[in-house]
A and B are shown apart, each in its own frame.
Chain A
Amino acid sequence: MQKRSDDCLIAYLDGEGDVSERREIEAWLDTDPAARDKLAALAQSAALVRSAFDEVMHEPLPDRLIAAARGERVSAETSAKIVPLRRGQGTGSTPAARTWWLGLPLAASLFGLLLGGAVAYLSVAKLLPGGIGGKQPAVEMAAADNLWLDNAVGYFKLAASAGDGALVDVPATGDAREAWQKISQSLPQEVRWPDLNLKPWGLNFRGARLVVADGRPAAQLMYTTDNKAIGPLTLIIGSSKEPDTPPTLARRQDVNLLYWRHQGRAYALVGQTDVGYLWGIANDVAWQLDAI
């Protein structure tokens, strides 16, 4: 028989001890109201301690830590790709580049979207020093990333603000896989269906729509969840002629993105949740699509 002490109560509260030890404690608690009160007070203080540090988990990660984790130094020269250019800095941050996407999602047809995307792509290309395809690949790639990420965030905000009334080309009613087949047929390359509904994230597929990313058709999949720590998410899957890039975190306004390119496809997972969730969900997407 173990000695009855605060240590035992605390260990019990922390889920320690084998079955027989826990039963001993429970028998003690059954017969000793003072021990029960003590256990309740300990549980309360433990909950307070957890609450006191919980907010850290919901803070956005500082750019310098993301860069440090990737073995990079944060500086103006190196931040373009991993920590994308901020508004008002560098290329692609002109008012036109920031807002051109706003009209696109309102187009009702794929033709309208494609035409708008092509025009916008060419227009923005003219705004960039040397134009897209010029002689400064690093700068251009950063600018292309910037544009692509601005688009992804814009489409996310439209979907999130519209809630259940979000415009979709393919609704989530009925068989989601069948819905996906319809939208996939409009893409330059066949893309498999990432089924995130059954995973621990508790995501509900709300529909998909055709959008424009990098001036090409792309699919935007929309998800909602009752989990307030995650909130609405969108996943954009498009095609890309850019070289493969590893998963990279970025932040636009109050929105986090995780984006990568792999074998001719570009992906962006977008939401206001913390990056831990984004990484977990992105891993799931990558595993299902063999995307990374």
Chain B
Amino acid sequence: MNIRFGDQLIAVLPRLRRFARGLTGSAVEADDLVQAACERALARQHQFQEGTRFDSWMFRIVQTIWIDQVRSRGIRKEDGEVAEERMGSDEAVRRVEARLALSEVRRAVDRLPPDQRTALLLVTVDGLSYKETAEIVGGPVGTIMSRLARARIALQLQLEAGGGMRRSTDNAEAQ
């Protein structure tokens, strides 16, 4: 194996895991997805074009595998598990509430349609441009823009309805 290729792959692993966690809503499934993406990338490393962005290439592989999984298995997750913790103090209560609020945000992201979720994770979480995101998902920039707008508005409505924004703001310092 080309050592340089492996180095690049390891360097981008944290971001791939974050992306996969957002797509799947599950830590275990996310790591399975990233592992499958690594294996595919290594098998097809000759297809990577030097001078192009390695991270975008890997995001595309992760996204492609995930879409295949969604289509073949008809994955629709139940609401994720929420960690319950015993509360021993005001500080602990605030921390638990803050964590629950962020869990609520993750669940709201998880309820978005797959294409909107993908756009949201790439642009809002990973900070890619609309053009880079369009190249990863294989669509026009205008489509990304509208998916993103729908995702952001739906997310905001969900969080406002669930009180997630208020609680998260109240407890921001507890994180």
Contacts and interface: CB of A to CB of B under 8 A. Distances in A.
A14 B169 contact: no
Contact of B164 (A48, A68, A275): A48
Contacts of A65: 13, 17, 31, 34-35, 38
A249 B7 CA distance: 10
B106 A53 contact: yes
B92 interface: no
B18 A57 contact: yes
Interface stretch (A37-45, A99-107, A176-184): A37-45
Contact of A51 (B7, B102, B152): B102
B38 A68 contact: yes
B6 interface: yes
Contact of B31 (A49, A64, A274): A64
Interface string B1-20: 10100110111011101100
A44 B169 contact: yes
Given A46-B152, A276-B11, A70 B106 contact: no
Interface string A60-80: 011011101111000000000
Contacts of A15: 129
A280 B13 CA distance: 13
Contact of B6 (A7, A10, A71, A283): A71
Interface size class of B (residues with CB under 8 A): 35 or more
B149 A7 contact: yes
Interface in B139-166: 145-146, 148-149, 152-153, 155-156, 159, 164-165
Interface size class of A (residues with CB under 8 A): 35 or more
A49 B120 contact: yes
A283 B168 CA distance: 38
B42 A71 contact: yes
B165 A275 contact: no
Given A51-B175, A71-B6, A10 B149 contact: yes
B87 interface: no
Nearest to B153: A6
Nearest to A275: B10
A35 to B, nearest CB: 14
Nearest to B36: A68
Interface of B: 1, 3, 6-7, 9-11, 13-15, 17-18, 21-22, 31, 34-35, 38-39, 42, 102-103, 105-106, 109, 120-121, 123-125, 129-130, 145-146, 148-149, 152-153, 155-156, 159, 164-165, 168-169, 175
19 contacts: A15-B129, A16-B129, A46-B124, A46-B152, A48-B102, A48-B165, A52-B102, A53-B121, A56-B17, A64-B35, A65-B17, A65-B38, A68-B38, A69-B6, A69-B9, A70-B1, A275-B14, A276-B13, A276-B15
